[in-house]
Amino acid sequence: MTRVLLWVQHLLGIGHLNRAALLAAAMAERGLDVTVASGGYPVPGLTLGRARLVQLPAARVADARFTPLLDGHGLPATDAWRARRREALAQLYHEVEPHVVITELYPFGRRPFRFELEPLLASAAHGRTKPVVIASVRDILIAGTKTGRDREMVDAFNRHYNQLLVHGDPDVAGLEASFPLAAELADRISYTGYVVNNAPGQGSQGSGEVIVSAGGGAVGAALLRAAVAARPLSKAAALPWRVLVGTAAPAGLADELAAQARDGLVVEPARPDFTTLLSNAALSVSQAGYNTLMEVVARRTPAVVVPFADGGQTEQALRARLMARRGLVEVVEETDLRPGTLAAAIDRALAAPRREFMPRMDGAAVSADLVATWAGRRP
């Protein structure tokens, strides 16, 4: 059986881990033996199908500046902690002896983890199984701010990697939209379509509701507050509203919003049946992170998105604008986030005609097929 080792690191939200979990489950369903090495904090309720999850010593960051790197206790990462991580990943590699190694985002991000990934990639280059080495990236990369950084990424890819999976649809956004040197990698890029949880809704929960969410919640407080304040200003005021507060939301936010709950407005923790809520909803209000946005678009739910842009983040804003050009969402820029502007966008979204264009949404299955094919071609 083909063995796959997939490395993933989430730091602020949980989108990277959720996407990796969908990929792992699809590969396992395809008959591959998949081990996921996760370096972020544990996420309850994560589903990987028949894939195995191995938790590395956890890392996180405090905010959108992404520095400093913190360990699982919230303390600055030390050299001793890095050594434990490096050794844990090295031991896992030798235990699995993978035929395929996949790194999620690296070398196009996650540079602070070179201390463990460069040794991992060296083991892959010299290991007995001679694994296929694959980079897995979302549709949009964060624009580099340092001169020469894009060149470093390409050079690292050329040194270590065989293939690049881009989990997007080039009819919406080719990699060149966010990575200037994409043309140099064209012969090794495979667009998979978006990786999305396509499970059908179970039941009628959320029927006719406005669903307000902010992913894990670490950076969505302003959106949730604005949405609660926008409700009475919107033509959707008569609809039931459900505000979901993520597990990583700032302390006290859930209680603050719950104090404003009244007839037709429910505030509760994020729910495992989120996709069912979206399937039945009249409207979604959310940020523009990859996972949530794809789940909304896949279900053709009218949507307003407020892309997260703090700390120089460009990924969500570019994705949201490209989706808006296709008529898939209404966008409120974070700098314009006020109850009035959000209410107006909600009214536009509810009045918009049904969308005709649908991006490719079979990214998990396509990725699994590609990985299996490439593994079969190993020398």
Containing 91, the helix (H) or strand (E) segment is helix 79-96
pLDDT computed for residue 235 by the predictor: 95
- 337-355 residue pLDDT tens: 999 999 999 999 999 988 7
Q: What is the arithmetic mean of pLDDT over 277-300?
A: 94
pLDDT computed for residue 144 by the predictor: 66
Ordered by where they begin, the domains of the chain are: 3-195+361-376 (3.40.50.2000), 210-351 (3.40.50.2000)
Q: What is the arithmetic mean of pLDDT over 287-301?
A: 93
Who contacts 122 (Cβ-Cβ below 8 Å, separation ≥6)?
none
- Structure letter (DSSP) for residue 335: G
Who contacts 147 (Cβ-Cβ below 8 Å, separation ≥6)?
none
SS3 250: coil
Report whether pLDDT(133) > 70.
yes
- 205-247 residue pLDDT tens: 999 999 999 987 778 899 999 999 999 999 999 999 999 998 7
Report whether pLDDT(145) > 70.
no
Q: What is the mean pLDDT of the chain?
A: 93
Separation between Cα atoms, residue 350 and residue 309, nearest integer Å = 25
CA 314 to chain centroid, in Å, comes to 14
Q: What is the arithmetic mean of pLDDT over 135-162?
A: 90
pLDDT band at 8 (very low <50, low <70, confident <90, very high): very high
pLDDT computed for residue 219 by the predictor: 80
* Least confident residue range of 21-35, 194-208, 231-245, 355-369: 194-208
Q: With contact defined as beta carbons under 8 Å apart, do 263 and 235 qualify? A: no
- Regarding pTM above 0.85, the answer is yes
